[in-house]
Amino acid sequence: MNTATFALETRAQARRDFSTISLIGLAHGCSHFFHMLLPPLFPAFIRDFGLSYSELGLLVTTFFVISGIGQALAGFLVDRRGARPVLFAALSCFVLASLAAGLADGFGGLMLAAALAGLGNSPFHPVDFTILNKRVSQARLGHAFSVHGISGNLGWAVAPVFLIGISELSGNWRFAYLGTALVALGVLTLLALKRNAIDDRDGSWAHEKPGAAALKEEHPLAFLRLPSVWLCFSFFFFSTAALSAIQSFASPALTSLYGLPLKATAFVVTGYMLAGALGMVIGGFWVARSATLERNIGLAMSGAALTLALVASGLLPPLFAAGLAAAAGFGTGLAGPSRDMLIKRAAPPGATGRVYGTVYSGLDVGFAVAAPVFGALLDGGHPAGVFYGAALALLLGVSAAALVGLFRKR
């Protein structure tokens, strides 16, 4: 092969990589956007339907219980049937969830919306990582994981602004859900038009290790014997429990602790996610230059835990406390690309969908368990517990990541 031909092929591969990375990033951002389908409008549901924070926490639990169970099962479906059709079905569920939320006349209608959104969310990680691992070249895979994480944080960041903004401009929160339905429909349409770029049948497992063929011949559930898989699951459980506290309850907790109005604290989640996105940008370069993933995670998440503990003290100036709570997202974002690489190394070749489905279901379980716990803390008059609990959960996540490293070295 001459130099000119090699250069052309290299540029063509780069274009294919960038197309796949950007489309999967958009899809992942959409899934995280729909994590926040209900929480930003909790105050409206309290006002119109007379719900408590514990009941609202149950809506979050419903979303993530369904998502967690579905995610573990979706990994098998993706490995057998392919990722692209599953992705299209997931986005269709988001459209239905938006319609259910907009038409809700009480707790039951909101529960239906939470269930549909959870079903739609369930396949995204096995789908996304199957497509990325199969289609993106090794040289760009770390940056692909970084973009994937950044897009998720941006989805979380945009959702409160989008939902609260439309609700306030229109004077009716139901119009916000017409907007979310159009968002999901627009993303689905674009991915359908660009479907060749996300076709996981076109590509190969270029990143497999020696001995892959032997591993593929094992029982489909053989990967469940690996301690690293369950430690990665635990890592997601604890780190996501912390995120659940911030996403759903940081705003009312700051209001109770520091006397800030809800309108001022409602966008702390957006700030947290934007700080996380910035952290992921830097983390993508950090992981490319570091072989010690567990150290990266430990430093970044311990810093975030310390920041949240300071906010919980109640001793800071009010606006500074809100800003510091948002800034804590930088630490969790910084750890993101190292986290995804850690899981990739724990996944046996040929079982990517199953491993990612199982490990990332820890994310859903963390949300499902934490939401009612932190909601009960607020109902019980313990707003500082939201931030102290989030800090403790982050430190437990650091411990799980360190144990993954120990098992991997054996």
Residue 220: per-residue pLDDT: 62
pLDDT at site 219: 61
Q: What is the domain extent for residue 227?
A: 21-195+222-405
The mean pLDDT of the chain is: 84
Question: Which among 125, 155, 159, 161 has a CA at the least distance from the CA of 26?
Answer: 155
Q: Is residue 212 part of a domain?
A: no
Question: What pLDDT band is residue 293 in, cutting at 50, 70 and 90?
Answer: confident
Tell which wins on pLDDT, 357 or 45.
45
Q: Tell me, what's the pLDDT at 336?
A: 78
CB atoms under 10 Å from CB of 8, counted, come to 11
pLDDT of residue 69: 84
Q: What tokens were used for 361?
A: 């279901």
Burial (0-12, 13-18, 19+ Cβ within 10 Å), 22: middle
For residue 1, name the pLDDT band (cuts at 50, 70, 90).
low
Q: Is it the case that residue 5 has pLDDT exceeding 70?
A: no
Q: What is the mean pLDDT of residues 390-395?
A: 95
Cβ neighbourhood burial of 318 (10 Å; 0-12, 13-18, 19+) = middle
Number of domains in the chain: 1
Phi, psi of 38 (to 5 degrees): -105, -40
Quick check: is 141 in a domain?
yes
pLDDT value at residue 207: 46
Quote the pTM value.
0.73
Cα 312 from Cα 254, distance rounded (Å): 9
> Is 351 part of a structural domain of the chain?
yes
Cβ neighbours around 116 below 10 Å, total = 24
Lowest-pLDDT range of 134-138, 190-194, 216-220, 252-256 = 216-220
- What single-letter amino acid sits at 181? A
Give per-residue pLDDT as tens, 328-349.
Answer: 999 988 887 777 777 666 666 5
User: Is 203 part of any domain?
Assistant: no
* Nearest Cα residue to 126 out of 88, 185, 67, 76: 76
Task: Confirm whether 332 is domain-assigned.
Answer: yes
Tokens for 288, please give them. 């490319």
Q: Is the pLDDT of residue 257 over 80?
A: yes
pLDDT tens digit sequence for 43-71: 899 999 998 888 888 898 899 889 888 87
pLDDT digits (tens, 9 = 90+) for 142-158: 778 778 888 987 898 89
Contact at 8 Å (CB) between 372 and 61?
yes
Whole-angstrom distance, CA of residue 229 vs CA of residue 235: 10
Residue 61 lies in a domain: yes
- Provide φ and ψ at 185, rounded to 5°: -65, -40
Share of the chain above pLDDT 70, in %: 86
Q: Do the domain assignments include residue 201?
A: no
Q: Is the pLDDT of residue 289 over 90?
A: no
Residue 6 lies in a domain: no
CATH of the domain at 383: 1.20.1250.20
Length of the chain equals 410
pLDDT of amino acid 206: 47
* Least confident stretch, 163-177, 208-222, 260-274, 396-410: 208-222
The token pair that represents 41 in the structure block = 């409008």
What the block records as the tokens of 171 is: 């004077």
- The DSSP secondary-structure symbol of 102 reads H
Judged against a pLDDT cut of 70, whether residue 231 lies above it is answered with: yes
